[in-house]
Amino acid sequence: MEKALTIAGSDSGGGAGIQADLKTFQELKVFGMSALTAVTAQNTLGVQGVFPMEAEVVAEQIQSVGEDIGVDALKTGMLFNAEIIETVAEKIKRFAWDKVVVDPVMIAKGGAPLLQQEAVSALKNHLLPLCFVITPNIPEAEVLTRMTIHSPDDKKEAARRIHALGAKNIVIKGGHDVNTNEAVDLLFNGADFEFFSVPRIETKNTHGTGCTFSAAITAQLAKVYLYMTRYL
C-alpha cells in the first residue's frame, strides 16, 4: 500500500487539517501518516484557540516516519510560523522527497490566522522551491504574488508569478470566486494552462475543502511513478 504523510494542524471539529487529510487518504486507499504542527480548538462557529508545536516536535515526527515507514508523497497544510516551515523544508531535502504538495494555508474560512504574516517569506523562500504542486486559493495566491485577482487572466498571471518562485505545478482554486456560478480551478505546469470547472454547489459547508483537495492530490501522487509525474 502506498504511504502518504500530512504535515498540518489538528482541527478538533474534524472538517479540516490533519483530520480531513487522513480521512481523504483512507478514502483513496493510501496509508495515512501525520506530523502535527499545531493543535487548534475549532468548531462550526470558528477557531477558538491555536497552540503551535515546537519546531523540534515537528522535526521528530517527520524523522520517525521518514526513517522507518517511508513516504511516497506528502502534503503540508497549516504550518503557522517560519521556524516550522524551515524545519519542514530541511526534512524534505534530507529525505530527498519530491512528491510534495504544498497547501499554503494562511487564514481559516472564519478569518482566524493560521500562518503568521512574517512567515510568508519563509514559505516563499524555503518551501515553494521544493514543491511539486502548490494549491493556493485566491486570497492565498494574492498574498504570494502581491496582486489582486479578478479575472481568468489575473489567475494566469498569478500562476506565472508563483511558478517563477519555484513551484513546478500551480493550481489556483476557485472556491472563493463567489461571483460565478461555477467553481473554476486553474492548473499551470510552467508551459500550459488548463481550466477545470464544475457547477458551484450552493452551500455554506465548505470548511476544509482545500485540505481535502490537496490531500486527494497527494494520495493520487503517491500511487504514480516518478517518470510519469515528470511529464505532468
Ligand X SMILES: Nc1ncnc2c1ncn2[C@@H]1O[C@H](COP(=O)(O)OP(=O)(O)OP(=O)(O)O)[C@@H](O)[C@H]1O
Catalytic residues: 173, 206, 208-211
23 forms part of the interface with ligand X (CB under 6 A): no
Contact 111, 149 (CB under 8 A): no
Contact 106, 113 (CB under 8 A): yes
Q: Give the binding site for ligand MP5 (CB under 6 A).
A: 8-9, 11, 16-17, 40, 77-78, 105, 108-109, 114, 207-208, 211
Say which entry of ligand MP5, ligand X, none residue 2 contacts (CB below 5 to 8 A, set by partner kind).
Answer: none
Angle (CA) 171 173 174, round 5°: 145
Phi, psi of 114 (to 5 degrees): -115, 0
CB of 83 to ligand MP5, least distance (A): 18
Say which entry of ligand X, ligand MP5, none residue 99 contacts (CB below 5 to 8 A, set by partner kind).
Answer: none
Q: What is the DSSP string of 138-179?
A: HHHHHHHHTS---SHHHHHHHHHHHHHTT-SEEEE--TT-TT
Q: How many CB atoms lie within 10 A of CB 94?
A: 13
Q: How far, in Å, CA of 159 to CA of 178, rounded?
A: 20
8 vs 55 by CB, closer to ligand X:
8
Say which entry of ligand X, ligand MP5, none residue 78 contacts (CB below 5 to 8 A, set by partner kind).
Answer: ligand MP5
Pick the closest to residue 102 from 59, 81, 131 (CA basis). 131
Which residues 146-175 are close enough to bind ligand X by CB under 6 A? 173-175
3 forms part of the interface with ligand X (CB under 6 A): no
CB of 96 to ligand MP5, least distance (A): 27
Cα–Cα distances (Å) from 158 to 5, 13, 174, 175, 193, in that order, read 28, 32, 13, 16, 12
CB of 60 to ligand X, least distance (A): 27
Binding residue for ligand X (CB under 6 A) from 213, 217, 218, 222? 213
Say which entry of ligand X, ligand MP5, none residue 17 contacts (CB below 5 to 8 A, set by partner kind).
Answer: ligand MP5
Side chain identity, residue 187: L
CB of 205 to ligand X, least distance (A): 9
Q: How far, in Å, CA of 4 to CA of 76, rounded?
A: 11
168 vs 207 by CB, closer to ligand MP5:
207
* Residues in contact with ligand X by the rule CB under 6 A: 16, 109, 137, 173-176, 183, 185, 198, 200-201, 203, 206-211, 213
